[in-house]
A and B are shown apart, each in its own frame.
Chain A
């Protein structure tokens, strides 16, 4: 059943950056875009099991730190080899300075 989970404080993430979040043994990546939008995806690259939170955020793109796989983290769209499968995204909302993601 879907539920909203408090993931972090909004200020925990620098603009144009990503941080990790884990819940029940599942890894997520929480993003803050350059214009202060908040987004969430699965924590691992769809190519290999590499944590995206160690990668570089450039505008709306997250780049996997291992093989340069790139995703549009606002839509989850894979942007070319070596990632060929889109990444799952999660709804996000910010209330009173706290970032919530909807999982389940």
Chain B
């Protein structure tokens, strides 16, 4: 079971070519009909919102990190580092994401600068993950094509839970850093990272490893955990919120479909969560129109919501669906959350039973 499941989700396995042969790779996805003039307004970006939010974000990281250092050696440091770690190890994900799309700032170097910093914080190689996420948007939840499927069918529960303290992500990140530093890519990465981009991967891995080596050296030299608690460590003890948010995006939803309304959730969140998550709770909208910056997504939601299924009113409401769905998929791999569209919405884009959401194994194309 385990090996067969991994082969189905692997980009180096047979499902990749089967998806290409079936027309699921680079497919024609449903998009709401938003007038061109309005789309131009929504895609237009400005530096102000992201500069404001980034100053606040770094300010909070500095404040809580500083308080943690000030109270180091006492129990009072614990709550400060819990906040610092969560900001560092969880919310760097949304900064990585938005700047990776190139939509957060109008000024390119600001976007690229924050992308490099956030990539280091979240322990993702900026080049590999730019290409990985590009594929995720082309082939969202297409088996054998999407490298970013968080919850397989059936889910690997222990790994999902262990990742709430970053154990899986950090282990993989360091293994890949060493692989990249040695001038190689994994088999999956080789499927989506072009040759010409690979030297950047190797160089960045060496830089990141050097920073971690200095951090560990300082910890040993000063006989203190503090350097590790400040750099790298938050990706473990502060990773819980990243997973709380990330699983709402696609877990339990349809696979091998060409309609984001079937494989993606939009979840209402409070202002604090939307600041921390940079509005990625509007995830259906983001997948339909990835070039709309995070600060315009609430407006985009108003434009397309009549085409979609009802939004989830809270994170809790989403998890009331996600947890039973993941448990159900342990015994029925074809089960998925099938949503009802609002009256008058365009029907789901389901050209054949093959892409109705069950993620059925695809037959290899007959030899020519």
Chain A residue numbers with a CB within 8 Å of B39 are 54
Known: A66-B290, A68-B103. A81 touches B138 (CB 8 A): no
Q: Are B101 and A68 in contact (CB under 8 A)?
A: yes
Q: Are A17 and B137 in contact (CB under 8 A)?
A: no
Q: Are B137 and A56 in contact (CB under 8 A)?
A: no
Which of A17, A48, A54, A55 interacts with B138 by CB under 8 Å?
A48
Known: A56-B43, A68-B102, A81-B130. A49 touches B26 (CB 8 A): yes
Q: Are A56 and B138 in contact (CB under 8 A)?
A: no
Nearest CB of chain B from residue A84's CB, rounded to whole Å:
6
Bin chain B's interface residue count.
Answer: 20 to 34
What 1/0 flags go to B26-69 for Cβ under 8 Å of A?
10000000001001100110000000000000000000000000
Q: Tell me the nearest residue of chain A to B111, going by C-beta.
A: A68
Scan residues 36-59 of chain A and give those whose CB is less than 8 A from a CB of chain B.
47-49, 54-56
Chain B residue numbers with a CB within 8 Å of A17 are 40
B321 close to chain A: CB less than 8 A: no
B291 close to chain A: CB less than 8 A: yes
Q: Are B26 and A65 in contact (CB under 8 A)?
A: no
Q: Are A82 and B131 in contact (CB under 8 A)?
A: yes
Nearest CB of chain B from residue A25's CB, rounded to whole Å:
17
B194 close to chain A: CB less than 8 A: yes
What 1/0 flags go to B163-201 for Cβ under 8 Å of A?
000000000000000000000000000000010110000
Chain A residue numbers with a CB within 8 Å of B103 are 68
Q: Are B137 and A67 in contact (CB under 8 A)?
A: yes
Q: Are A82 and B44 in contact (CB under 8 A)?
A: no
Chain A residue numbers with a CB within 8 Å of B196 are 84
Which of B131, B194, B291 interacts with A55 by CB under 8 Å?
B291
Scan residues 259-307 of chain B and give those whose CB is less than 8 A from a CB of chain A.
289-291
Other A-B pairs, 16, CB within 8 Å; known A65-B43, A68-B291, A84-B194: A17-B40, A47-B134, A48-B26, A49-B26, A55-B291, A56-B44, A63-B291, A65-B289, A66-B137, A67-B134, A67-B137, A67-B290, A68-B101, A68-B102, A81-B130, A82-B130
**Chain B interface (Cβ within 8 Å of chain A)?**
26, 36, 39-40, 43-44, 101-103, 127, 130-131, 134, 137-138, 194, 196-197, 289-291
Q: List 11 A-B contacts (CB under 8 A).
A: A17-B40, A54-B36, A54-B39, A56-B44, A56-B291, A65-B289, A66-B290, A68-B291, A70-B102, A81-B127, A82-B131
